[in-house]
Structure formats: C-alpha cells, structure tokens
Amino acid sequence: MLGRRGLMAAGAASVMAPRVVGAQGAAARTLRVIPQANLTSLDPVWTTAVVTRNNAFLVYDQICAQDAAGAIRPQMAEGWEVAQDRLSVTFTLRDGLLFHDGEKVTARDCVASIDRWSKRDPFMQVLQPAIAEVAALDDRRFRFRLHRPVPLLLEALGQTQFPCFVMPERLARTDAFQQLREAVGSGPFRFLPNEWNPGQRAVWAKNDRYQPRQEPVDGLAGGRVPRLDRVEWTIITDPATSANAMTLGEQDYWEYPLHDLLPVMRRSRDLVVQQRLLEGTYGICRFNCLQPPFNNPAIRRAVAMAVDQRDYLRAVAGNEPDGWGVCEGVFTCDTPLANESGSGILKTRSIDRARAALREAGYAGERVVLIAPGDYPQINALSLVTADILRRLGMNLEIVATDWGTLVQRRASKEPVERGGWSVIHTTSQGLSLTQPVTHLFLRANGPNAWFGWPEDAGIERLRAEYVDATDAAERRRVAEALNRRAMELMAYIPLGYYWQPSAWRRNVTGVFRAPATVFWNIAKG
C-alpha cells in the first residue's frame, strides 16, 4: 500500500524518473531489518551475544551445519570420512570457496578457526581431552586425530549455539580472548565496515562470488543463496517505534517483536507475523545452592511444588495458547531426549502442599533475595511471578529491582545475602541449548565450576560423562531419562516452560524459512 508520503514522493520522483527507477530497484533488493539488539561486536568467538552470531551467519560459513531436524550436514565441506577404527575423521572442503578479500579458503584456515573456537566453546572443551590433533593434510583436506572415538564430534562442529565459523588463518590466529576488529569470511554476504555505526546501523552486501550448495535450504543446511543486494540493520530500541516503522513500511523485517504488540501487528494486512526459530525460548528459575535457605534441596523442591508454568508463560507471552507451551522436563520438548521422568513434582501446582512441604523442610524464615532485571521484560516478568509465589508461601522475601548489567555481576557473588549475595535469579535460554546434556548449562552440577548457583552432584556429572561416550540413540535416551530424574531431585533450577518468539515481516518479503537461528539467505523482497 502506497501511503500519502509515498504518493508525494512518487509525484516528485516522476520528474526525474530514470534515476528513481534505479533507486527503487535498489530499494527493492535491500532488506531493512530491526535486529533484536545492537550489534556491538563482530567477533563471534570473543562474545556469545546472539546478535553477533546472527551477523556471523551472514559473513562466515560453517564446515557443517544443522538441518531443520537437527541432523548435521556438510556445508563448506564436500564431505567427511571416519576411519574404520574411528580414531580419525578427515574433512574435504568444496572446491572454489573464496574469502571476501579474494583469498582461497584452505584447510589451514579451517584448522586455525577450529583451534580458536575450541578455546571458547564449552561443548568442544568437553571433547578436547579425546582429541589428539587437528591438522591440514593439503589445501582442501584436514584431519581430526583422536585418542578415542568421539561420537559427538560432528554435533560440536556443526552446532548452532556457538558455531564454528571459518575465518582466514591470519584472523583466526588471534587470541580467543582478544576481539577481532575485522569481519572477513566466505559467507553469502560481505560486511561493510564503512557503513557500520554501532547503535544505529550495520550493513552487508551480497557476496557475488559465493557458491551455494545445490541442495534446497533445510534449516541452516543446504544452499545458502543470497537473493538480496543488501541487508541493512537499523537499531531501534523502542518497541512501539519499531511497530510503527513496520506498519508504515519504513522497515521490512523485525526479528523479535514485543509480545504485547503482536495483536496490533497481526491486524495489519501488510505484515506477516510468524514463528521463525525452530525452538522456543525457555524460562529458568535458578536457586543459589550454596547459601541458605536454598542450600537445602527439600526447600527448593517445596518451591517447585507451587510452580504452575502457565502463570509464568502468560506473564511473558500473553493469553494466546499457541504463544507458549508447558515443558516439565529439563530437555527441550519435542526433541529426542525430552522426557518427564521424575517430573511429577512439577505437576503438583499447589500453594498449600508447597507450604506444608516448606514447613517439613525446616524453613526458618531466612531472608530470600530475588534479583529482577527491570530492563529485560521477559526475565523481569518471570521474576515477578516467582516473587509472588515466594510471598504466598510465606517466605521472607526481598526483591532487588535492578538492570541486567548489575544482575550479571551480582549473580557471580557466592557470598551470603547479607554480604551482597543472592538467593534466586531467572534467565532464559534458547531451546537449542537445552537439547542435550553437553550444551545444557543449567544441568551441570560440578560445584564451583557449575553455572551461577553452583550445585554439586556427582550423579549428574557421572551421567553427563556417560552421555558423551554413548554411541547409540537408545543409550542416550536412557541417560537423558536418568538425568531428568536426578535433576528433579536436585532441583537446582525450576524449568518454567517455553514461549515462542515470532518475527514479523512485510508481505513483499518472500522466502522466509524456519531455522535454528535468524539468517537472511534465500530471502527476497518483491
């Protein structure tokens, strides 16, 4: 629909028609995107920020990648060969791969990139003791030499949570804890550094020399075909302004619309509002297992008995039942390891029974400090629902309302609440990270090295190690059920279910497909 301003502009433009036709053509091939956050860093190894990872998917390519079903398929690799003794895996690169600076992609670039990424990726760090060496054999082949078989090697290399992106060797040799200033990859789009204004704009141009795979796109696997000349991200921090910009056609694609604004967006005939990511976002209520009262597992379990996930999910994502889902296990629902062994406690959903359990557990009125980040609407909503439950249970609650920056610092404190510590925090996680024990941050129970809250449980750690060595699906499933059971006994965190985070785009944007991450290849603008 052409608005009044559009008509006025068109009238003025008719005077200088040829120039404008060209400009309109260029505009038609430019996708204007409101990203979920400001792109502050270009280095996907240095920071785990999702927005940086989304930028990396435009710029870089992966050796192998996840399809929509979660299987690992070749991407830059032509294929791989596992030795008969399973003690080496040799990868062969596709021919004709070029970096944006014109240099050929070689096996040495892959080895250097794997080396830098391995130093930061928690999944790879689990596998590292079994890896003897990664070495280039020639320009197109490199080999993993292993001390013992590593069944999860491909899953690690092709994962989406912390992907292994291939960069030129000269960049990949940078210390993994130092930030790269350049973004030179071999992916379908080139980053334009001169047009980067952090906080306002980031721009990518089509990589004309990119050679996509011939298979149809499937999740992050298959042909990554750049169909746009430019992708322009404009940072708009205010959700209402973003919604207005989408409605008026000033922007084409909004990655994470605020749930409150979805009904307004859905009413617009010019907009499509749909789920794009394959997994939902999972809520987590984490206890500090080191300090009273939540150093007592019985008290943690008592609180879990009062939780009804639907209250949390409505608070975050509203009343539309297709906007969220109950998931009363520790693994992402509808994935191979999802199960509810021992999850009966989460089906109690009774304040009275929880109160009785709390009494039995010996709660003696210890102060409970719950930190809520006001600048993070979803996590804040989860925090306020827990606060309400704790109050109704009669716990001695203090809510600390703060910002996310302060929360991430304070949650690192192991001190008692009287000395700046904490008792309960909340966070969210992409479902993708919770599909298996190796990447499941909140499941770890290795005491001081576990995620904030620092639970310690030999049983969980033993099961996790068993999972790493498991060779078949049935064995993995058995371990996953045992892990869920043990996690429910330990209750280091309460799973709060998941909500969908839809995206919105103008109706003239075509080729949008579902994937584990927000990517812009295969998308066109009509």
Residues in contact with another protein by CB under 8 A are 3-6, 38, 40-41, 46-49, 120, 122, 162, 175, 177-179, 181, 197-201, 234-238, 240-242, 244-245, 247-248, 250, 375, 402-406, 408-410, 412, 427, 429, 441, 449, 451
Which residue from 269, 246, 270, 268 is spatially nearest to 257, judged by alpha carbons? 246
- Rounded to a whole number of angstroms, the minimum distance from the CB of residue 276 to another protein is 22
User: Which is closer to another protein, CB of 49 or CB of 225?
Assistant: 49
Tell me how long the chain is.
526
Distance of closest approach, residue 58 Cβ to another protein, in angstroms? 18
Shorter beta-carbon distance to another protein: residue 254 or 521: 254
3-state secondary structure 475-508: HHHHHHHHHHHHHHHHCCEEEEEEECCEEEEECC
Q: β-strands 61-62, 271-275: how paired?
A: unpaired
Residue whose C-alpha is closest to residue 130's, from 107, 99, 153: 153
Residue with smaller CB distance to another protein, 224 or 506: 506
Nearer Cβ to another protein, position 40 or 350? 40
3-class DSSP string for 263-306: HHHHHCCCEEEEECECCCEEEEEEECCCCCCCCCHHHHHHHHHH
Residue 105 CB, nearest approach to another protein (Å): 25
Minimum Å gap between C-beta 235 and another protein is 7
Residue type, position 437, single letter:
P
Task: State which residue, 367 or 411, has the beta carbon closest to another protein.
Answer: 411
Q: Which is nearer to another protein, 176 or 326 (CB)?
A: 176
- Strand 502-506 with 230-234, pairing: unpaired
Helix ranges (DSSP H) in 307-362 = 309-317, 351-361
386-412 per-residue burial string, b: 16 or more CB within 10 A, e: under 16: bbebbeebebebebbeeeeeebeebbe
The minimum distance between CB 429 and another protein, in angstroms, equals 8
CA distance 84 to 93: 21
CA 254, 255, 258, 262 dihedral sign is: positive
Nearest distance, CB of residue 447 and another protein, angstroms: 12
**Which residue number, 274 or 409, has a Cβ lying nearer to another protein?**
409
Distance of closest approach, residue 422 Cβ to another protein, in angstroms? 12
Look at residues 332, 287, 333 and name the one whose alpha carbon lies nearest to residue 435. Answer: 332
Least CB distance from residue 201 to another protein, whole Å?
Answer: 7
- Please report how close the Cβ of residue 198 comes to another protein at its closest, in angstroms: 5
Place of tokens 């009062």: 306
Name the residue nearer to another protein (CB basis): 396 or 402.
402
In the complex with another protein, the residue whose CB is nearer, 409 or 508, is: 409
Burial of 72 (0-12, 13-18, 19+ CB in 10 A): buried
What angle do helix axes 377-392 and 309-317 make, rounded to 10 degrees?
Answer: 140
Nearer Cβ to another protein (132/401): 401
Minimum CB–partner distance for residue 162 and another protein (Å): 7
